[in-house]
């Protein structure tokens, strides 16, 4: 079970209102005893609702968020509803509400999964054996394969996006974001941006994309034998499935790589598959052509560098005084060099 923190003074919720909604959908629901917040994350807010017999999760956008962006709670709620009959590893949704008088924003409530999430800060303390980590990483890939095997036309998930031209739109969009937030001339980033624009990967049959598929968003059962949940569907869409794989690889760092990356993931711990092993397993299970995987991996690294660049840009503009953000430039440069290396050989 993930640890939670108490609500801040600004987080004032109408508890009777939430009780009323729950009672309408779950007649035997007991009164709420407490609401606490799951810490971390930079996007939507997640809360744990505790009664004397049940636990629920509430998701809502941060104050002032644009609902047409990744903060659209109604869209995420509908994704979960569409997915549940075809992909069992998502929580059961309960209710979506637009009553901003209850929490200050639109929100939805779903079941809370009783499992464990492997994160950079907790996984090294769990003492999982190499055999367990090997199994977990294989389960991760098998779950991604299962997700990409869903028929997006029969399920109606095709309506989540426009698969035609998806890769080109993503490349153009993230390059535009980079130059919009540029603070220092980074030769590697410029070279990668040009290469991504010119390179045309082989067309892949469109699939449902999670768009942030990594350990941080995966719930394992308590003995780590199977995946029981995939969380955070706010960026789900349809498009080239290798974009999902490439993004995951870009977060997947190995033990012999730069130590700084150990702060952000647990994939370096003994037993985890290597990136090459992940690619081979995915290819063998899907029969997809992964000969262009270097493109998707390079794009994933470039995208991560852009995200860091946007945060660094806001710091340089004076919108943040967090010194951690002010120290991001070397990480951006490092990710740029790794992306450039990926374009040349992988």
How much is the average pLDDT of 293-306?
Answer: 98
pLDDT confidence band for 66 (50 / 70 / 90): very low
> Does an H or E element contain 333, and which?
helix 329-344
Cα distance between residue 112 and residue 265, in whole Å: 24
pLDDT band at 67 (very low <50, low <70, confident <90, very high): very low
β-strands 55-60, 45-50 pairing: antiparallel
84 within domain boundaries: yes
Same domain, 55 and 134: no
Domain boundary among 76, 111, 146: 111
- Count of structural domains, the chain: 2
Domain of residue 53 covers 15-111
Same domain, 276 and 337: yes
Tens digits of residue pLDDT in 266-291: 999 999 999 999 999 999 999 999 99
Same domain, 168 and 42: no
**In terms of domains, do 225 and 89 share one?**
no
CATH code, 144: 3.90.1200.10
Q: Which of 241, 237, 77, 231 is nearest to 146 (CA)?
A: 241
Nearest-angstrom CA–CA distance, 203 and 222? 39
Q: Identify the CATH number of the domain in which residue 51 sits.
A: 3.30.200.20
The answer on 27 and 54 residing in a single domain is yes
Given a contact cutoff of 8 angstroms between Cβ atoms, the answer to whether 239 and 167 are in contact is yes
Q: Does residue 309 share a domain with residue 175?
A: yes
Mean pLDDT is lowest, of 40-54, 170-184, 247-261, 299-313, for: 40-54
Tally of helices (H runs) and strands (E runs) in the chain: 11, 9
pTM of the model: 0.91
């Amino acid at each position: 079970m993930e640890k939670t923190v108490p609500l801040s003074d600004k987080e004032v919720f109408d508890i009777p209102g939430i009780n009323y909604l729950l009672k309408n959908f779950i007649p035997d629901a007991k009164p709420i005893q407490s609401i606490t917040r799951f810490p971390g994350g930079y996007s939507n807010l997640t809360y744990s609702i505790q009664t004397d017999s049940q636990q629920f999760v509430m998701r809502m956008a941060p104050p002032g968020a644009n609902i047409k962006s990744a903060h659209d709670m109604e869209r995420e709620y509908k994704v979960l509803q569409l997915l549940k009959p075809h992909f069992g590893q998502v929580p059961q949704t309960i209710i979506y509400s637009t009553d901003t008088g209850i929490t200050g924003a639109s929100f939805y409530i779903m079941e809370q999964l009783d499992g464990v999430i492997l994160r950079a800060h907790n996984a090294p303390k769990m003492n999982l054996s190499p055999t367990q980590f090997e199994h977990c990483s294989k389960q991760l890939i098998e779950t991604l394969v299962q997700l990409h095997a869903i028929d997006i036309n029969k399920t109606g998930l095709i309506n989540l996006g426009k698969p035609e031209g998806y890769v080109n739109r993503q490349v153009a969009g993230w390059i535009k974001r980079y130059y919009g937030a540029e603070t220092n001339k980074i030769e590697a980033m410029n070279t990668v941006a040009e290469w991504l624009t010119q390179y045309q990967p082989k067309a892949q049959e469109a699939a449902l994309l999670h768009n942030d598929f990594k350990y941080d968003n995966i719930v394992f059962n308590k003995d780590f034998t199977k995946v029981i949940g995939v969380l955070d569907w706010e960026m789900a869409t349809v498009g080239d499935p290798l974009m999902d794989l490439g993004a995951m690889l870009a977060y997947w760092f190995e033990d012999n790589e730069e130590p700084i990356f150990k702060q952000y993931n647990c994939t370096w711990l003994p037993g985890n598959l290597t990136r090459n092993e992940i690619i081979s397993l995915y290819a063998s299970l899907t029969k997809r052509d992964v000969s262009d995987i270097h493109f998707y991996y390079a794009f994933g690294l470039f995208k991560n560098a852009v995200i860091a660049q946007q945060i660094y840009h806001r710091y340089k503009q004076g919108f943040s005084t967090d010194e951690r953000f002010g120290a991001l430039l070397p990480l951006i440069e490092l990710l740029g060099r790794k992306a450039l290396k990926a374009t040349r050989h992988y």
